[in-house]
Amino acid sequence: MSELRLREDLSAIPDYKPGKATAHTAPEVPVYKVSSNENPYPPLPSVASAIADRITLVNRYPETAATALTSMLCARFDVTPANVVLGSGSVEVVSQLMRATAGEGDEVIFAWRSFEAYPMLVRAAGATPVAVALTTDHRHDLDAMREAITDRTRLIIVCNPNNPTGTTIGAEELTAFLDAVPGDITVVIDEAYVHFNERADSPSGIEYFRRYANVAVAHTFSKAYGLAGLRIGYAIAPERLANALRKVAIPFGVTDLAQAAAVASLHAEEELSARVADLVTERERVVAAFLAAGIALPETQANFVWVPFGDATTAAAELLERHGLLVRPFAGEGFRVTIAEREANDLLVALAPELAALVS
Ligand code: PMP
């Protein structure tokens, strides 16, 4: 039998590994999935009913223009509909940006370690990933990213706050960086975790979109708004770029249910912000417990904590898993744990001294 002929360059993309089940966990232990930076709160009643109201319409294709949501986003950011592009999660928006700017032989620069999907999506677009190591304190090395620019560079991704380290970029360093990037290279600021960022001198991606003609911003409803399962995100982009993104977008990729939930969430901003504030308070509680136990951490401004445990990472993840906490380990580097429901955070706090013993 002959083998199917697939694109050979796809062999460079590792197989996707979903978060695993509960191999090391005793069945009587409650299990908390703290591996995907999800929001632990269920949808608000107003959001759930906006979704339910649309259920009887699912025999129809979604409204591609997403008029209601687009006009709310335009009012919020003072942009025009020509600047707004929706996607099936911001991961699709990032993928659109790659497919619209980079093809075979072109390069896409991003920090590493960062969002795991970046190198996979770059390769899927047929382009070449250029991963620039983080600084030793787990931050974007913007100088090295600038030095990595070649005449093949088409897109640069700046992830602020960065996944999985939670570290942020200051306004001054971002300005210096963007001043140095040639104007024909697109820079996307991925702000998936922006709502959790309390750093005083943090740049607002939208302000940078206004100031630089080559800057786009990617936002999601998955994290602060708690709609990860509905898959909806958006880009705010210069008009010409936005137009190109629409060309490569999946047709009907954003459902009416997702659009309605997003609109209802924007209407419920106050309640959702209170939830975000709670998660930030919980984050600080967990961080304080880790620091008190003697565990060194980079400052996180996201809804997760990065614990750089090096060689002890796998042992730490197994210990946490035995207690029902399913974290995201990167062997030899560290693990990322999401700030979740109070019981999960309590467990983390209680286990901090045991974790510290693994590295002392
Ligand atoms: N960007 C970053 C930095 C992320 O961590 C994630 C999700 N983990 C995304 C984008 C994509 O989120 P979604 O597709 O759910 O909007």
Per-residue pLDDT of the chain (360 residues; tens, 9 = 90+): 789 898 888 888 888 776 555 555 566 789 999 999 999 999 999 999 999 999 999 999 999 999 999 999 999 999 999 999 999 999 999 999 999 999 999 999 999 999 999 999 999 999 999 999 999 999 999 999 999 999 999 999 999 999 999 999 999 999 999 999 999 999 999 999 999 999 999 999 999 999 999 999 999 999 999 999 999 999 999 999 999 999 999 999 999 999 999 999 999 999 999 999 999 999 999 999 999 999 999 999 999 999 999 999 999 999 999 999 999 999 999 999 999 999 999 999 999 999 999 998
Q: Are 291 and 271 in contact (CB under 8 A)?
A: no
Alpha-carbon Rg for the chain in angstroms: 21
Class of domain 55-267: alpha beta
Q: How far is the CA of 157 from the centre of ligand 1 (A)?
A: 13
Quote the pLDDT of residue 326: 97
Q: How far is the CA of 193 from the centre of ligand 1 (A)?
A: 8
Quote the pLDDT of residue 28: 77
CB 102 near ligand 1, within 6 Å:
no
Site to probe by mutation for ligand 1, drawn from 33, 85, 90, 337 as the one with most ligand atoms within 8 Å of Cβ, is: 90
Quote the pLDDT of residue 67: 97
213: tokens are: 């003609």
Quote the pLDDT of residue 296: 96
Ligand 1 atom closest to residue 91's alpha carbon, by position in its atom list: 14
Site to probe by mutation for ligand 1, drawn from 220, 221, 230 as the one with most ligand atoms within 8 Å of Cβ, is: 220
Q: How far is the CA of 56 from the centre of ligand 1 (A)?
A: 29
CB 70 near ligand 1, within 6 Å:
no
For the segment(s) 19-43+270-359, the CATH number from 3.90.1150.10, 3.40.640.10, 2.60.120.380, 3.30.2320.80 is 3.90.1150.10
Q: How far is the CA of 5 from the centre of ligand 1 (A)?
A: 31
Ligand 1 atom closest to residue 231's alpha carbon, by position in its atom list: 15
Q: Identify the bridge partners of residue 315 per DSSP, sorted by sequence position.
A: none
CB 134 near ligand 1, within 6 Å:
no
Q: How far is the CA of 231 from the centre of ligand 1 (A)?
A: 10
CB 220 near ligand 1, within 6 Å:
yes
What secondary structure does DSSP assign to 59-72, as a single string? TSPP-TT-HHHHHH
Quote the pLDDT of residue 1: 76
pTM of the predicted structure, to 2 decimals: 0.96
Site to probe by mutation for ligand 1, drawn from 35, 223, 328 as the one with most ligand atoms within 8 Å of Cβ, is: 223
- In whole angstroms, give the CA distance from residue 196 to residue 72: 21
Quote the pLDDT of residue 201: 94
CB 324 near ligand 1, within 6 Å:
no
- Give Cα separations from 213 to 97, 99, 153, 185 (angstroms): 15, 19, 17, 10
Q: Which residues, in sequence order, are CB contacts of 155 under 8 Å at separation 6+?
A: 97, 98, 101, 102, 108, 109, 185, 186, 187, 188
Domain boundaries, the chain: 19-43+270-359, 55-267
Q: Identify the bridge partners of residue 156 per DSSP, sorted by sequence position.
A: 109, 187
Q: How far is the CA of 104 from the centre of ligand 1 (A)?
A: 25
Quote the pLDDT of residue 14: 84
CB 161 near ligand 1, within 6 Å:
no
Site to probe by mutation for ligand 1, drawn from 190, 232, 303 as the one with most ligand atoms within 8 Å of Cβ, is: 190
ipTM exceeds 0.95 = yes
Residue whose pair of structure tokens reads 């030793």 in the numeric block: 136
- Give Cα separations from 292 to 285, 287, 341, 353, 359 (angstroms): 11, 8, 21, 9, 14
